[in-house]
Amino acid sequence: MRNKGDFLFTSESVSEGHPDKVADRISDTVLDCFLRADPEARVACETLVTTNRIVLAGEVRGPSSVNKDLLENATREAVRDIGYDQAGFSWKNAEFQYYLHAQSADIAVGVDSAGEKDEGAGDQGIMFGFATTETETLMPAPISYSHEILRRMAAYRKSGHALGQGLQPDAKSQVTLRYVDGKPVGATSVVISTQHDENKSQNEIREALRQVVAEVLPEGWTVPEDQFYVNPTGIFVIGGPDGDCGLTGRKIIVDTYGGAAPHGGGAFSGKDPTKVDRSAAYVCRYLAKNVVAAGLADRCTLQLSYAIGVAHPLSLYVDLDGTGKDIDEARLERVLREAVDLTPRGIRRHLRMNRPIYGQTSAYGHFGRTPDASLDDFTWERTDLVDTLRQAFNR
C-alpha cells in the first residue's frame, strides 16, 4: 500500500468461529500441548474441520504423554471455547480422527544442532514484517478495525451482552478506508456477515452491529447507510464447519497485515518456532515495529530469507518507503543484524517462543496484539529495541 496520494483501501478479517480459524485454533492448541510438555518439541500439525468431523494430520516429535486422548480432549475444549455446540458441529460429539506421526528423519538431520553445527532453519522461504504509524499498535488501520469489530462481537456473544444475543461464532468483517495524502481519514464502507439464530431478524442484527461498529471506528467515521452491509445474502443460519470445510493456514493475509504489506506465503498456525515461516515472520514484525516506534520512519517493510538446514538468514532487506528520518537503510540493516541474533535458535531465545503461547494467536491477527503480562505472550510486539536503535542513529 502506497504511503502518499488519495485512495481507498480495504482489509478483511474473519472470526474465531470461521471454519479456517477453527482449524487454526485446533492446530495451535496441539502445538501448545506439545510445548507445555517439552519446550523443544517439534510440531507441524494440519487440521481439517467439516460437518461434525475433526481431522488432525502432520508430523510431531515430543513426549509420549502427549497422546491421542490428551489431544482429543484439548481439541474439544478449544471448540467449546469458540462456542460450537450445534447440530452440524459440536464440541461434544464431532468425530475425531488422528493422523499425527513422527517427524521425518531427513528434516530432523538438517534442522537439529549437533556438535559444532548450529540449529538450521526448518524450511527455506521468505518472511516479511511491517509497521506503520497509522494506529497506536503500529498496524495498518483497515485490518485493525476489521479485527476489532469481530473481537468485540465475539466478546459480546460469549458474555451474553445484548449486542451479542442471537449471534453464532462464524463471522466476517471488511472495512474500506479513505486515505488522503497517504493517511486514513474516514471509512467509506463496512461489510459484516455473521451466523445467527434462526429466529433472529436481520433488522435486529443490523442495529446491534451498527452499535458495535460505532464503538470501534473513530468518532465521525460513520459510514453512509447504503454502504453498511450486514449479511448481504439475507440469511446466515448454517455456518461454521457445517457450512464450509475449514483448513489450517488458509487465512494468511488476515493473520498478518490485511494486504497492506507483502507476504512470503507461509502460514503460521500449528508450526513450532523452529519453522521460520512462523518465528522469522514474528521477528520481522518485531524489528519493523521497533524501527517505527523509535521514530526512525513512519513505515517499515522488512524481509528475511532462509535456506533449510542453514542457521543464518541469507538476506535482510529494509524498505522505509520514503518515510525514513535521514536514515540510511543499508546501515539500518547492519544495525538490526547486530541487535538480534536472527538464527532460528536466536529468534526463539530473544522472543521466548518455546512456550505454550500460541492458541490465542490463532484469531484476530498475530500482530498488533496487546501482550498479557501474566502470560508473557506476544513478545514480538514489544518495543524494547527502541533505545538501541535511537543510540545507533544518535536520536
* Residue 199: CATH number of its domain: 3.30.300.10
Whether residue 360 is annotated as binding a ligand: the answer is no
Whether residue 59 is annotated as binding a ligand: the answer is yes
Whether residue 183 is annotated as binding a ligand: the answer is no
Please identify, among 192, 218, 238, the residue that sits at the C-terminal boundary of a domain. Answer: 238
- What dihedral do alpha carbons 68, 69, 70, 72 form, nearest 10°? 80
Assess if residue 68 is contained within a domain: no
**The pLDDT value given to residue 108:** 55
Whether residue 101 is annotated as binding a ligand: the answer is no
383 phi and psi angles, rounded to 5 deg: -120, 45
Residues 298 and 376 in one domain: yes
Residues 234 and 319 in one domain: no
Q: What is the mean pLDDT of residues 207-232?
A: 96
Residues 149 and 188 in one domain: yes
pLDDT per residue over 173-212, tens digit each? 999 999 999 999 999 999 999 999 999 999 999 999 999 9
**The pLDDT value given to residue 141:** 98
Share of the chain above pLDDT 70, in %: 96
DSSP reduced 3-state for 222: coil
Instruction: Report the amino acid identity of residue 276.
Output: V
- DSSP code at position 261: S
Whether residue 289 is annotated as binding a ligand: the answer is no
Whether residue 21 is annotated as binding a ligand: the answer is no
**The pLDDT value given to residue 63:** 96
Share of the chain above pLDDT 90, in %: 90
Whether residue 69 is annotated as binding a ligand: the answer is no
Assess if residue 84 is contained within a domain: no
When mean pLDDT is compared across 3-7, 111-115, 296-300, 312-316, the lowest value belongs to: 111-115
When mean pLDDT is compared across 8-12, 66-70, 104-108, 131-135, the lowest value belongs to: 104-108
Assess if residue 199 is contained within a domain: yes
**The pLDDT value given to residue 116:** 42
Please identify, among 188, 211, 238, the residue that sits at the C-terminal boundary of a domain. Answer: 238
Q: Is the pLDDT of residue 107 over 80?
A: no
Assess if residue 263 is contained within a domain: no
**The pLDDT value given to residue 374:** 83
Residues 337 and 299 in one domain: yes
Q: What is the mean pLDDT of residues 351-361?
A: 97
Assess if residue 115 is contained within a domain: no
Q: Which three cell numbers stand for residue 176?
A: 474500506
pLDDT per residue over 39-52, tens digit each? 999 999 999 999 99
pLDDT per residue over 123-178, tens digit each? 889 999 999 999 999 999 999 999 999 999 999 999 999 999 999 999 999 999 99
**The pLDDT value given to residue 113:** 52
Whether residue 18 is annotated as binding a ligand: the answer is yes
Residues 157 and 225 in one domain: yes
Whether residue 141 is annotated as binding a ligand: the answer is no
The more confident residue out of 140 and 109 is 140
Q: Is the pLDDT of residue 279 over 70?
A: yes
Residues 220 and 296 in one domain: no
What's the CA gap between 294 and 3, in Å, rounded? 19
Residues 205 and 296 in one domain: no
113 phi and psi angles, rounded to 5 deg: -85, 150
Whether residue 187 is annotated as binding a ligand: the answer is no
Q: Is the pLDDT of residue 308 over 70?
A: yes
pLDDT per residue over 280-300, tens digit each? 999 999 999 999 999 999 999
Q: Is the pLDDT of residue 323 over 90?
A: yes
Assess if residue 105 is contained within a domain: no
Instruction: Report the amino acid identity of residue 299.
Output: R
**The pLDDT value given to residue 117:** 44
**DSSP element (H, E) containing 361:** none
Assess if residue 185 is contained within a domain: yes
Residues 319 and 338 in one domain: yes
Number of domains in the chain: 2
Whether residue 171 is annotated as binding a ligand: the answer is yes
Residues 224 and 178 in one domain: yes
**The pLDDT value given to residue 109:** 54
| DSSP alpha helix (H) spans, the chain | 19-37, 68-82, 105-111, 141-159, 202-216, 240-243, 252-255, 276-293, 329-339, 344-351, 386-392
Looking only at the bridges linking them, the beta strands covering 299-306 and 125-132 are: antiparallel
Please identify, among 238, 264, 298, the residue that sits at the C-terminal boundary of a domain. Answer: 238
pLDDT per residue over 7-38, tens digit each? 999 999 999 999 999 999 999 999 999 999 99
**The pLDDT value given to residue 126:** 97
Q: What is the mean pLDDT of residues 208-223?
A: 96
**The pLDDT value given to residue 366:** 98
Range of the domain at 189: 7-13+141-238
- What dihedral do alpha carbons 377, 379, 380, 384 form, nearest 10°? 150
**The pLDDT value given to residue 106:** 57
Residues 169 and 203 in one domain: yes
pLDDT tier, 375 (very low <50, low <70, confident <90, very high otherwise) = confident
Assess if residue 177 is contained within a domain: yes
For residue 212, which of 151, 166, 149 has the smallest C-alpha distance?
149
Residues 129 and 166 in one domain: no
Residues 184 and 215 in one domain: yes
**The pLDDT value given to residue 99:** 98
pLDDT tier, 372 (very low <50, low <70, confident <90, very high otherwise) = confident
Whether residue 92 is annotated as binding a ligand: the answer is no
